């Protein structure tokens, strides 16, 4: 498909070039009747350049037509590295907006190559082609779900989505620490609100479902891979409005409006940029909140697949007692999963030596890796491996993803590394993760989960 498109592009370019050259030649001949038939030296150069260009196009088109789709796909992903320096020159939030817009318009490479079979796994009755996902915060308003899933992520999480639209905190609110591979943000749940997101997800849901049904039969194994609307799993991360006095009501409203499109739901109680939000991680507060949200989800009518799994996203800045309380609530209420973790308010080495570290907000990226992984391992032990955990925080390579899995993660998410590395990072990480599993003798992701805790 990609090679045909490339070939067509070359043919169209060639046709336009030949037509323009022919017209130019005709005009030159018509004027030659009244002037000396002397060809200017510059015109000769132009014709030579045109001829050389046409020759290169023909040769390039012929070569591309012989290249297999997998190789061409690899080229497209590698080519995105050329764009990264341009984004680095832009303001961080402007670059982020452009990246989301590009993915929404399909101006990003689409993965045509199958994932390594060793990366496939089943969680919550859903088949993931690979365990590497994009965390909430990148596509806050569900503008680019199709483009992001098409890049090869095993799952994409949109949000956080608040009931009522809100602008978030004043700008600037995103700060790069490029040398440390980190970002500090204090966005504050900037969101277009659940109505706008529901409308967008509804349209995308119908489109993806139609494309899936037309491209594969329901009985095929391919149809079983993915979520409600087709290949790729979609998570929806729910937040509360800054001015809301009833957090539970906000989350319940999100469930009622958006759960029909979600393959899993997330209660975000751990952003450091919404005042009072992290207090909901206390034992009593969390228990009351989860009960209300579970009841709201379960009272809705669901088909054979049942309601979407409900997860809670927690902070990395928790005490041992806090983690024990959360684990107890998760086990008692049979929570479907935990995401570990959100950004940190701490400034671990070497970030604290960077002047930008004085900015308030949550820190993400490489410096968060050890802290979040330690919390992940502790929670895996406290929950006795009974609850699927999503490892998030500081992942920038397949080796990092593998270490999260060994610490207890069934799935992993990234964001900051993707912001810096772009689409080319995704196939690279999947290949590295597959190599790590094979190197240590694991035949599947599930075999490696919690290996460091056993």
Q: CB count, 10 Å around CB of 195?
A: 13
Question: Considering only 89-93, 137-141, 275-279, 321-325, which range has the smallest mean pLDDT?
Answer: 275-279
Say which of 271, 357, 372, 397 is annotated catalytic: 271
Over residues 217-245, the mean pLDDT reads 76
Q: What is the pLDDT of residue 10?
A: 43
Give percent above pLDDT 90 in the chain.
75
CA distance 341 to 385: 17
* Residue-range definition of the domain harbouring residue 230: 62-212+224-448
Element (H, E) at 438: helix 425-439
pLDDT above 70 covers a percentage of the chain that reads 81
Tell me what the mean pLDDT of segment 214-228 comes to. 55
Q: How far apart are CA 223 and CA 403, in angstroms?
A: 31
- Contacts of residue 449, Cβ cutoff 8 Å, sequence gap at least 6: 385, 405, 406, 408, 409, 410
| Contact in structure between 266 and 234 (CB atoms under 8 Å) | no
Q: Does 401 map to a domain? A: yes
> pLDDT confidence of 34, banded at 50, 70, 90?
very low
69 confidence band (pLDDT: 50, 70, 90): confident
Nearest to 168 by CA among 187, 148, 192: 187
- Assigned domain for 12 exists: no
Looking at residue 94, what is its pLDDT?
97
Q: Tell me the CA distances in angstroms from 10 to 5, 60, 72, 145, 252, one per residue in order.
A: 9, 8, 15, 30, 53
Matching residue, tokens 């764009």:
83
Instruction: Give me the pLDDT at residue 54, please.
Output: 67
Per-residue confidence at 44, pLDDT binned at 50, 70, 90?
low
What is the predicted pLDDT for the residue at 222? 44
* Nearest partner of 176 among 361, 341, 401, 314, judged by Cα: 361
**Residue 288 forms part of a structural domain:** yes
- pLDDT at 67 (0 to 100): 65
Residue 213 has pLDDT above 80, yes or no: no
Residue 13 lies in a domain: no
Q: Determine, yes or no, domain membership for 19.
A: no
Would residue 266 count as lying in a domain?
A: yes
* Domain contains 11: no
Active site residue 271: yes
Domain harbouring 335, CATH code: 3.20.20.70
* pTM score: 0.83
Instruction: Let me know if residue 160 belongs to a domain.
Output: yes
Tell me what pLDDT residue 265 has.
98
| Terminal C-alpha separation, the chain | 47
pLDDT value, residue 221:
45
In tens, the pLDDT along 160-209 reads: 999 999 999 999 999 999 999 999 999 999 999 999 999 999 998 777 66
Confidence grade of residue 226 (pLDDT, cut at 50, 70, 90):
confident
pLDDT for residue 312 is more than 60: yes
Q: Can you read off the two tokens belonging to residue 387?
A: 């609850």
The count of structural domains within the chain is 1
User: If pLDDT is split at 50, 70 and 90, which confidence band does 322 have?
Assistant: very high
């Amino acid at each position: 498909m990609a090679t045909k498109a490339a070939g067509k592009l070359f043919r169209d370019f060639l046709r336009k070039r030949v037509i323009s050259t022919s017209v130019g030649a005709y005009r030159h001949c018509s004027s030659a009747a009244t002037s000396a038939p002397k060809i200017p030296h510059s015109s000769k150069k132009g014709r030579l350049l045109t001829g050389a260009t046409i020759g290169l196009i023909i040769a390039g088109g012929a070569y591309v037509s012989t290249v297999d789709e997998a190789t061409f796909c690899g080229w497209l992903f590698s080519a995105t590295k050329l764009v990264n320096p341009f984004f680095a020159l832009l303001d961080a939030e402007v670059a982020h907006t452009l990246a989301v817009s590009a993915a929404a318009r399909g101006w990003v490479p689409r993965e045509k190559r199958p994932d390594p079979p060793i990366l496939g796994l089943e969680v919550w009755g859903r088949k993931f082609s690979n365990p590497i996902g994009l965390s909430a915060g990148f596509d806050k308003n569900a503008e680019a779900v199709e483009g992001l899933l098409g890049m090869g992520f095993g799952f994409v999480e949109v949000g956080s989505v608040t009931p009522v639209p809100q602008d978030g905190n004043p700008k600037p609110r995103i700060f790069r620490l490029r040398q440390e591979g980190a970002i500090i943000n204090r966005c504050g749940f900037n969101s277009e609100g659940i109505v706008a997101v529901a409308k967008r997800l509804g349209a995308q849901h119908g489109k993806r479902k139609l494309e899936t049904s037309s491209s594969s039969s329901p009985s095929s194994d391919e149809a079983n891979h993915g979520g409600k609307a087709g290949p790729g799993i979609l998570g929806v991360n729910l937040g509360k409005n800054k001015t809301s006095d009833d957090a539970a009501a906000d989350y319940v409203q999100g469930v009622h409006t958006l759960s029909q499109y979600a393959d899993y739901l997330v209660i975000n109680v751990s952003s450091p940029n919404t005042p009072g939000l992290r207090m909901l991680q206390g034992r009593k507060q969390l228990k009351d909140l989860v009960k209300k949200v579970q009841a709201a989800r379960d009272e809705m009518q669901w088909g054979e697949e049942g309601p979407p799994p409900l997860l809670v996203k927690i902070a990395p800045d928790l005490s041992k007692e806090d983690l024990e309380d959360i684990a107890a609530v998760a086990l008692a209420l049979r929570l479907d999963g935990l995401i570990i973790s959100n950004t940190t308010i701490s400034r671990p080495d070497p970030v604290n030596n960077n002047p930008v570290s004085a900015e308030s907000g949550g820190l993400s990226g490489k410096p968060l890796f050890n802290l979040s992984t330690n919390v992940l391992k502790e929670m895996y032990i406290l929950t006795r491996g009974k609850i699927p955990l999503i490892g998030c925080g500081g992942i920038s390579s397949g080796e990092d993803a593998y270490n999260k899995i060994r610490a207890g993660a069934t799935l992993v998410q990234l964001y900051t590394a993707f912001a810096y590395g772009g689409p080319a990072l995704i196939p690279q990480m999947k290949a590295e993760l597959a190599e790590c599993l094979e190197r240590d003798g694991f035949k599947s992701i599930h075999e490696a989960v919690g290996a460091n805790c056993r």
